[in-house]
Chain A
Amino acid sequence: MRKQWLAAGVSIALAAGVMAAGIDFSDFDDALMESMDDAIRELDSNVGGRDARASLANAAVLGEGFAWAEKYFAAKPEAPLGAGYAREGKEHLAVVVQAIEAGNFDAASHGVRAVVRTCKACHEAYKPPE
């Protein structure tokens, strides 16, 4: 498994207790975020390859990740935007899943980009620097 966040490429020491933006993320599930990074890249590739089965498997990983992140951030008032980003990610992902199931891979590809933008917005707010 690649040790990356989206575009990070370098493992993030959140679990080791690095403080980002003055917020303690030592209880953050770094491994889950790494699997989401893999999943979004795979999803982008598999949607491009019109592989519905693989794409839906990737979407499932992302769905679990967003659900976890929503719960995590809801319990972290010092990071108030996080839960909203997670919900937004879930909503965009639902559109992607619907499009894949309908065989509309162009719409799915468009939706993947929306998911990516949401991930990026959250990282810009809360991801520690490399």
Chain B
Amino acid sequence: MNRITSRRDLLIGAGLGAGSLALGALAPGAAFASQAASNYIDPLAPRQPHFPAKVKSVIWLHMAGAPSTLDLFDYKPQLIKLHGQPLPESFSKNLKTATDGGVGALTATPRTWKQHGETGAWVSDLLPNIARHVDNISFLKGCKTEGSTHVISSLKLHTSALTPGRPSLGAWITYGLGSANPDLPAFVVLPTGKGGAGGGNGQVIWSAGFLPATYQGTSFRQGDSPILFLQRPDRVVQAEQRATLDLLKQVNEKHASRYPADTELEARTRSYDLAYRMQVAAPEAVDLKQETAATRAMYGIGENPTDEYGTAVLRARRLVERGVRFVHVISGTQEDGIQSWDAHQEIEKNHSIMSKTVDKPIGALLRDLKARGLLDSTLVVWTSEFGRTPYGQTGDGRDHNPWGYTSWIAGGGIKPGTYGATDEIGLRAQEGIVDTYDLQATVLHQLGLDFQKLTFQHQGRTEKATTVFGDVIKPILA
């Protein structure tokens, strides 16, 4: 054990050392950070999972604003029959509504429905491209959550808490597995649309929370320079920058040699090198000019309204190809007056635009991943903070519904089909209930991480990604 010689040593030993113990326990041969720089181990070094993983990466398709899955996946003939009637008491009993819109009359979906594929999954005419891939998808039709506002439920979906401060799922995964590509962030966020933060929730849904900040998501921008302030200033040539960094490294190493217990100095030196490598790797990873024109067209790039979302989703594919662990794609649109799926009014217009925005790109993603053999090593998750009610709101909208909605998962180790169900009108999850904790536990499981054993010491307590809750959804595992 190192002798503590200063207050700084004590803080490093107490803080980073605790992480070291936690991670060392879950990943033999690895540690988050040792107490001495001479034993420094990169906190992003790849680590072994708890058990053999089914997938290497996750593409998390976050449908910000909450789509009405009653208009997309959850076909309810009974709701059509009851259209225009008040919500029957048999369904509304014990319903704890909290939003201001009140409970309007039941509103049938005007969509046309068809069963698709060998699994016979129902998909509405709003999503014809996703419908072609149902035989790769496990539909979770009994999803439920807590909260009735976007911020609270988005936090729960991503961090398992209803208030900010806990790490997001992508951060836990990065903490658990490290990075598979030292030249790129392990956790990338791809926001789209004018409300690019997604449901007005912003960075808190891809935060590292109480985990070290190195595990937080890195938000990529549109365009050739995806990371803010990463690129070399225009008037500095590459040789000049390299010479500057080499000099800086020499000076830092000389200084660090006087403080062998200081991991911060070692980390700082490494961060300069990482940024330098990223200057090349990050633009290359998102350079869609390297894709064929046919591929770009398949994703809807170069046409409206799919250009931006298609770009994000194709970038996601390129990122997982390069070993990025978790890519969080947040849906949005450039359409005036519509930022997300949040259709309290004009749901027909809203869902028509939002569906057109995401359907073709997601269909292309599934097709592309499969064609490249990547779907076996990637988990594609389609989810939102909640769904929308079978009863109407403001005449032509639907309210928030945390009690029953559909999410889906496709990819490695997932059995296609339909799991769970809502009640006859699609109000509440009734069978095969999946809470957000369960969804997170299942994603971790597929990555080879035991959600009960992936822990971090925080304020004297052993913290877990899904807090004290969660069960792996075993019936959907192949």
Bound CA span A40–B95, Å: 27
Stretch at the interface among B144-152, B230-238, B298-306, B308-316: B144-152
Within 8 A of B (CB), among A77-112: 109, 112
Contact with B along A112-125 (1 / 0, CB 8 A): 11001000100001
- B435 CB contacts on chain A under 8 angstroms: 120
Which residues of B have CB within 8 Å of A42?
A: 461
Q: Of A7, A49, A129, which is within 8 A of B97 by CB?
A: A129
Q: Does A26 contact B (CB under 8 A)?
A: no
A45 touches B461 (CB 8 A): yes
Give a binary string over B401-412; 1 marks a CB under 8 Å from any A CB, 0 the rest: 010000000000
Question: Which of the 9-residue segments B159-167, B243-251, B370-378, B387-395 touches chain A?
Answer: B159-167
**Nearest-CB residue, chain B, relative to A115:** B468
Q: Which residues of B contact A7 (CB under 8 A)?
A: 146, 156, 160-162, 437, 467-469
Which of these, B95, B160, B462, contacts A48 with CB under 8 Å?
Answer: B462
Of residues 94 through 109 on chain B, the ones whose CB sits less than 8 Å from some CB of chain A are: 94-98
**A-contact bits for B132-163, CB 8 A (1 contact / 0 none):** 00000000000000111100100110001111
Q: Is the CB of B468 within 8 A of A20?
A: no
Q: Which of A16-68 contact B (CB under 8 A)?
A: 20-22, 40-42, 44-45, 48-49
Q: From the candidates A10, A120, A129, name the one contacting B96 in the complex (CB within 8 A).
A: A129
Tell whether, in the assembled complex, residue B462 and residue A9 are in contact, meaning their CB atoms are under 8 Å apart. Answer: no
Say what secondary structure dominates the interface of chain B. Answer: loop
Asked if B334 lies at the interface with its beta carbon under 8 angstroms from chain A, I say: no
A129:B146 contact, CB within 8 angstroms: yes
Check B468 against A116 for contact (C-beta < 8 Å).
Answer: yes
Q: Is A15 an interface residue (CB 8 A)?
A: no
- Among B96, B163, B462, B463, max chain A CB count under 10 A is at B96
> Which residues of chain A come closer than 8 Å to B147, judged between CB atoms?
129-130
Q: A21-B94, A40-B468 are in contact. Are A130 and B455 (CB under 8 A)?
A: no
With both chains docked as a complex, state the minimum distance between the C-beta of B400 and any C-beta of chain A, in angstroms: 10
Per the 8 Å Cβ criterion, residues 399-437 of B in contact with A are 402, 435, 437
- In Å, the complex CA distance between A27 and B89 comes to 26
Task: Decide yes or no whether A8 CB sits under 8 A from chain B.
Answer: yes
Of B402, B435, B455, B467, most A-chain CB atoms within 10 Å: B467
Which bracket fits the contact residues of B?
20 to 34
Chain B residue nearest to A119 (CB atoms) is: B468
Interface contact A41-B467, CB-CB below 8 Å: yes
- CB of A69 within 8 Å of the partner chain: no
Tell me, rounded to whole Å, the shortest Cβ–Cβ distance linking A88 to chain B.
17
Q: Which residues of A contact B463 (CB under 8 A)?
A: 45
How many A residues face the partner with a CB closer than 8 A? 25
Residue pair B469, A22 in contact (C-beta under 8 Å): no
**Could you tell me the distance between the alpha carbons of A8 and B467 in the complex, rounded to whole angstroms?**
11
* Chain A residue, CB-CB nearest to B436: A7
Residue of chain A at shortest CB distance from B155: A9
Which residues of chain B are near A48, meaning CB under 8 Å? 455, 462
Q: Evaluate contact between A112 and B468: CB separation under 8 angstroms.
A: yes
How many Å lie between the Cα of A21 and that of B97 in the bound state?
9
Please measure, in the bound complex, the distance between the C-alpha atom of A8 and the C-alpha atom of B147, giving whole angstroms: 9
The interface residues of chain A lying within 8 Å CB-to-CB of B160 are 7
Partner of B146, one of A21, A40, A112, A130: A130
A49 and B402 in contact, given A9-B162, A116-B469 (Cβ under 8 angstroms): no
The CA of A40 and the CA of B298, in the complex, are separated in Å by 50
A128 and B96 contact, CB distance less than 8 A: yes
Please measure, in the bound complex, the distance between the C-alpha atom of A55 and the C-alpha atom of B98, giving whole angstroms: 37
Q: With A and B bound together, what is the CA distance between A40 and B464 in angstroms?
A: 13
**CB contact between A44 and one of B146, B155, B462 (< 8 Å): that residue:** B462
Across the interface, which residues of A come within 8 angstroms of B152, CB to CB? 10, 130
Interchain CA distance A40-B96 in the complex, whole Å: 25
Within 8 A of A (CB), among B168-214: none
A82-B262 Cα distance, complex, nearest whole Å:
55
B149 is contacted by which of A40, A41, A44, A130 (Cβ under 8 Å)?
A130
For B98, the chain A residues whose CB sits under 8 A away are 128-130
CB–CB A9/B161 < 8 A: yes
Please indicate which of the listed interface residues B94, B148, B463, B464 has the most CB atoms of chain A within 10 Å of its own CB.
B94
B-contact 0/1 string along A1-16, CB 8 Å cutoff: 0000011111000000
Contact partners of B163 in chain A: CB under 8 A: 9-10
Bound CA–CA A60/B155 (angstroms) = 31
Min CB distance, B164 to chain A, in Å?
A: 9
CB within 8 A of A130: which of B93, B95, B148, B464?
B148
What are the residues of chain A within 8 A of B97 when measuring CB–CB? 129
Given A21-B96, A129-B96, 14 additional A-B pairs, CB 8 A: A7-B156, A7-B162, A8-B146, A41-B468, A44-B462, A44-B468, A48-B455, A116-B469, A120-B469, A125-B94, A128-B98, A129-B146, A129-B148, A130-B146
What are 18 A-B contacts with C-beta separation under 8 Å?
Answer: A6-B468, A7-B146, A7-B467, A9-B161, A10-B162, A21-B94, A21-B96, A22-B94, A40-B468, A48-B455, A49-B462, A112-B468, A128-B96, A128-B98, A129-B97, A130-B98, A130-B152, A130-B162
- Which B residues fall within an 8 A CB radius of A? 93-98, 146-149, 152, 155-156, 160-163, 402, 435, 437, 452, 455, 460-464, 467-469
Give A contacts to B, CB under 8 Å. Answer: 6-10, 20-22, 40-42, 44-45, 48-49, 109, 112-113, 116, 120, 125, 127-130
7 smallest CB-CB distances across A and B, nearest first, come from A9-B162, A21-B94, A45-B462, A9-B163, A129-B98, A45-B461, A130-B147
